[in-house]
Structure 1
Amino acid sequence: MAIVLLALAGCERAPRELAISGPTMGTTYSIKVASAPDTVDAHTLRVAADEVLARIDRSMSGYREDSEISRFNASPSTDWYEVSRDLATVVDYALEVSRESGGAFDITVGPLIAAWGFGAAGEPNDLPDESQLAQLKARVGHEKLQARLDPPALRKSAAALQIDLNGIAPGYAVDLMAERLQALQVTQFVIDIGGEVRAQGRNARGELWRIAVEKPIDAESEPYAIVQLDNAAVTTSGEYRHYYDRDGRRYSHTIDPRTGWPVQHSLASVVVIGPSSMYTDAWATALNVLGSEAGLELAQKRAMPVMFIDAVANGLVPVATPQFEFYVAVPPSTGKQP
C-alpha cells in the first residue's frame, strides 16, 4: 500500500472513533469514523461496507465469470450492450481521462499487461517482440470503446476488445462508500481501499486527517511525506516493488498503452490529490505513464495538486505543483511529524 493512514497519537484510540477493516478486491479496506451519530455503530459500518463492496464485485470484478464486466468482455457483439449505471459511469470517466491524457490511461490495455508478465499467468519465459506487440496493440485502444449514460450501455468496435478496471474501480468503490456514509449522516471519516484514500471532516481529536505518503523504495515501508485532507482524496502510483529484471534491464508493471512497452522513465512514484477517489485513481496511473516531465506539464496545465518523485543517482527528487503544497503537513525527505 503506497498511502497509509497515520495512527492517532497515544496508546489508546481517540474517543468516539469507530474503525473497521477487512479484505476486498485482492487487497484490504479500512474505514475510520469520528463523532458518529448514535444510530451508527461498527456493525452498521460493516453492513454498509459489505453492501457497497458486493455491488462493485458483481459489476466490475474481472475474476467473476458472472460479473457485468466479464460478460461484456466475453460478448462478441459490437452493438450497444446494456450495463448498470455504475459500470457505465466508471467506463465513461475512464474514457475521459484517456482522451485528456493523450492515451496514457487506457482500460483496454489488459492483453499488453499479460504479455509482459503482469497478469494472472506471471512472468513470461520469452518477452514479446515487436511483431507480437503489434498484434496485441490491434486488440486494444480506448478509441475502440464507447460509453453511454442514458440509458447506461457500452459498445466496442472490435469484438475481441476487453476492459480491465483495476486502475479505477477501487477509487470508485471508495466514492460509493463515502456516499453511503454520508447517507447515514456520517460526516467525519476516512476510507482506504488498497491505498485509495478519501477523507472528510476531522478525526476524533478535531484534527485534519493525516495521510502518510510512502517512500518509493524497495525496502521496508517508511513515510516520505505527510498530507492532510478534508473532503479530498489521494492516490499514489509507483514503479517500485512491482517489476522484474531480465538481462540487466528492469521491466515495470506500468505499461504505456501508446507504445505497448513498460515505462522506462525515472519517475519512482506520483501522488495525486483530487475531489474524488475515482479521479485520483485514474489520474495517478495516467501521470505515472507520462513521467515527471510530460506529467508535470499536464498537471500544471490542469492546475492539479500533484507531486512527482524521481529516482536519480543520488536519491529521490520531489517536484510538486503549487496546488499540491496546500495539502502538505510534513514535506518530503523527513516524513517525521512535528
Structure 2
Amino acid sequence: MMAAITAVVSRKSPTPPILHPSSCDHRCASRFAGLQAGIRQPRPALPIIYNPRRAMTRLLSAALLFFLAACTTNESHLLVQGGTHRYRGDTMGTTYEVTVVADPQYNVRFPFLHAAIAMTLERIEAAMSTWRPESEVSRFNLTDTTDPFSVSPDTVTVFRHALSISELTGGAFDVTVGPLVDAWGFGPPGHPPTAPADAELARLLKRVGWQQLEVDAEAATIRKLAPGASVDLSALAKGYAVDQVAELLEAEGFTNYLVEVGGEVRAAGRNPQGEAWRVGIERPTAGPPTVYRTVELSGQALATSGDYRNTYVLDGQRVSHTIDPRTGQPVTHALASVSVIDPLCVRADALATGLMVLGPDDGFALATEQGWPALFLVRRPDGTLEELTTPTWAQFSAQ
C-alpha cells in the first residue's frame, strides 16, 4: 500500500531532481507507475524527473544474450578505467537506475556489468511477479493444496522476510492481503471503486492472514496451511531486488554505489563528489513533487510509503488504498507517509508498509521500541504536516 519516494540530491545542484512516487498497495510494484532515479551531473536548474510506468519486455534474456555476443567481438572497447557509470532500465513495472563510482585503478567492463544487473532483476521478477503466469508465485497461488511447494532461494529469502515482518508488526504487514485490496477497487483495472458488502469482507478475511503460510528454508519450500490462500510479494520484491544488485556490485569489488528500483534505494561509500549519498524524501501532498527532507546514506537503504496519490471518495469520505489486513478496512488515520532506514532494503520496504498500516500512534511506538530509524509525516486538519522522528533517525539527517 505504499509509495516509495526518493531522490538523489547533489549539494552542487540548485534545484535537485525528485523521484515522483509510485502509488502502491501491498502489491504495488507491478500495478502502478515507477520512477527513473534522479541522478544527474551538477547543472543549473535541474528539472523534476518523472517517468511513467513502462512495461518490461519478456524478451530481456534473449536480448541480453545477443548483446553479450555482440560485445565480445570488440573486447578492447569494454574496459573503462575508473569513473562514474550509470545503468538504467525497466523492471517490475517500474524503472531502475544504478550509479557506480569506480576507483581510478579499477577497469570497469561496463556492458557486462549492465547485463549482469539486468539479468539479476529479471531473475527476481521471473520468480515473484504475479503478472507472469509461469512465475513461482503465480504457480503457487494456483495450487489448491497444503503440500510443500519447491521454490528458488530468492523466493525462500523473501518469504522469510515477509513472515518475520508480519510477526513484528502484529499482522499489519501481510502478503496475503491482495483479495481485500481488490475488493476495495485498488486491484487490476476494471474493478469499480466501491465498498464491498460485509458478507463479502467476512468471506475474504478467511483467506487473509500471514499465519496461513509456512516456509522451510532447508528444504527450499513454501506451503499453504489453508488451501485458499494467495500471496503477492510486491511489497518486498523491489527492496529485495535493490539488495541483490548491491550484492552483485560488492562481489565485483565496487564499494561506492547507489541502487534505485522504483524509488527504493540503497547506498554505499561515496557519491561522484566524494560525499555521502544525499537522498530526498518527497513532501506527501498533491501537486508537483518537492523535497521535504534530505538524508545522507552510506551502507543503508531507504524506503518510503504513503497513501496520498491513490485514493477515491465514497459517500463523501476519503478512501485510502492502504488496507489493514487485520480488519479488511481502509485505514482512517492521518498518517500521510512513513520513511524507514535499514541496512537491507527488503526490510525497509516491508517495514514502511507495516508502519503505514499501523499509523502515527501504534506505528511510531513500535518503531521507537524497536530502534528503527523512521520519519512519520502526519496530516493536520489544516493541511499542514506534523513531523515525528524516532530517536535513531537524527543520525541520517542531512545538514
- Give the TM-score normalised by the residue count of structure 2: 0.80
**Cα separation, 2, equivalents of 1:170 and 1:318:** 26
**Cα separation, 2, equivalents of 1:313 and 1:84:** 48
Match of 1:288 in 2: 356
**Cα separation, 2, equivalents of 1:23 and 1:218:** 26
How big is the shift at 1:9? 2.4
Match of 1:275 in 2: 343
Match of 1:318 in 2: 387
Q: How does 1:64-83 map to 2 (within 5 A)?
A: 64-83=132-151
Match of 1:32 in 2: 99
Native 8 Å contact 1:307 1:318 kept in 2: yes
Equivalent residue pairs, number: 330
SS at match of 1:168: helix
Aligned residue identity for 1:222: T
SS at match of 1:250: strand
Q: How does 1:30-179 map to 2 (within 5 A)?
A: 30-36=97-103, 38-124=106-192, 126-179=194-247
Match of 2:55 in 1: none
Native 8 Å contact 1:303 1:323 kept in 2: yes
SS at match of 1:16: strand
How big is the shift at 1:313? 2.1
Match of 1:228 in 2: 296
How big is the shift at 1:13? 3.2
Match of 2:5 in 1: 2
SS at match of 1:143: helix
How big is the shift at 1:66? 0.4
Aligned residue identity for 2:397: V
Q: Which deviates further from its counterpart, 175-184 or 114-123?
A: 114-123
Aligned residue identity for 1:206: G
How big is the shift at 1:123? 4.5
**Cα separation, 1, equivalents of 2:375 and 2:7:** 16
**Cα separation, 1, equivalents of 2:190 and 2:365:** 34
Aligned residue identity for 1:235: A
- Find out whether 1:199 has 2:202 as its counterpart: no
Over residues 18-73 of structure 1, what are the superposed CA-to-partner deviations in whole Å (9 max), with x where a residue is unaligned?
A: 11111111111111111256332442331121111111011101100000101111
Native 8 Å contact 1:114 1:121 kept in 2: no
- Find out whether 1:262 has 2:265 as its counterpart: no
Q: Provide closer, same or farther for how the CA distance between residues 41 and 205 of structure 1 changes in structure 2, counting only shifts above 3 A.
A: farther
Match of 1:329 in 2: 398
Over residues 60-102 of structure 1, what are the superposed CA-to-partner deviations in whole Å (9 max), with x where a residue is unaligned?
A: 0110000010111111120111111110110111011111111
SS at match of 1:219: coil
Native 8 Å contact 2:184 2:194 kept in 1: no
**Cα separation, 2, equivalents of 1:139 and 1:121:** 22
**Cα separation, 2, equivalents of 1:329 and 1:7:** 11
**Cα separation, 2, equivalents of 1:274 and 1:10:** 27
Which one of the candidate residues 23, 29, 41 is aligned to 1:13? 41
4+ residue segments displaced more than 3 Å: 10-15, 36-39
Q: Provide closer, same or farther for how the CA distance between residues 35 and 125 of structure 1 changes in structure 2, counting only shifts above 3 A.
A: closer
Q: Provide closer, same or farther for how the CA distance between residues 122 and 265 of structure 1 changes in structure 2, counting only shifts above 3 A.
A: farther
How big is the shift at 1:250? 1.1
Q: Provide closer, same or farther for how the CA distance between residues 239 and 122 of structure 1 changes in structure 2, counting only shifts above 3 A.
A: farther
Q: Which deviates further from its counterpart, 13-22 or 278-287?
A: 13-22
**Cα separation, 2, equivalents of 1:164 and 1:211:** 28
**Cα separation, 2, equivalents of 1:242 and 1:13:** 32
**Cα separation, 1, equivalents of 2:41 and 2:291:** 21
Native 8 Å contact 2:323 2:329 kept in 1: yes
Match of 2:37 in 1: none
**Cα separation, 1, equivalents of 2:349 and 2:119:** 21
Native 8 Å contact 1:35 1:204 kept in 2: no
Native 8 Å contact 2:166 2:174 kept in 1: yes
Match of 2:318 in 1: 250
- Find out whether 1:239 has 2:307 as its counterpart: yes
- Give the TM-score normalised by the residue count of structure 1: 0.94
Aligned residue identity for 1:62: T
Aligned residue identity for 1:316: L
Native 8 Å contact 2:186 2:193 kept in 1: no
Q: Which consecutive unaligned segments of at least 5 residues does structure 2 have? A: 15-39, 43-81
Native 8 Å contact 2:194 2:314 kept in 1: no
How big is the shift at 1:10? 5.7
**Cα separation, 1, equivalents of 2:333 and 2:157:** 32
Q: Percent identity?
A: 42
Over residues 198-219 of structure 1, what are the superposed CA-to-partner deviations in whole Å (9 max), with x where a residue is unaligned?
A: 0000012110000000000111
Match of 2:34 in 1: none
Native 8 Å contact 1:254 1:289 kept in 2: yes
How big is the shift at 1:7? 4.4
- Find out whether 1:212 has 2:280 as its counterpart: yes
Match of 1:335 in 2: none
How big is the shift at 1:5? 1.6
Aligned residue identity for 1:18: H
How big is the shift at 1:125? 5.5
How big is the shift at 1:181? 0.5
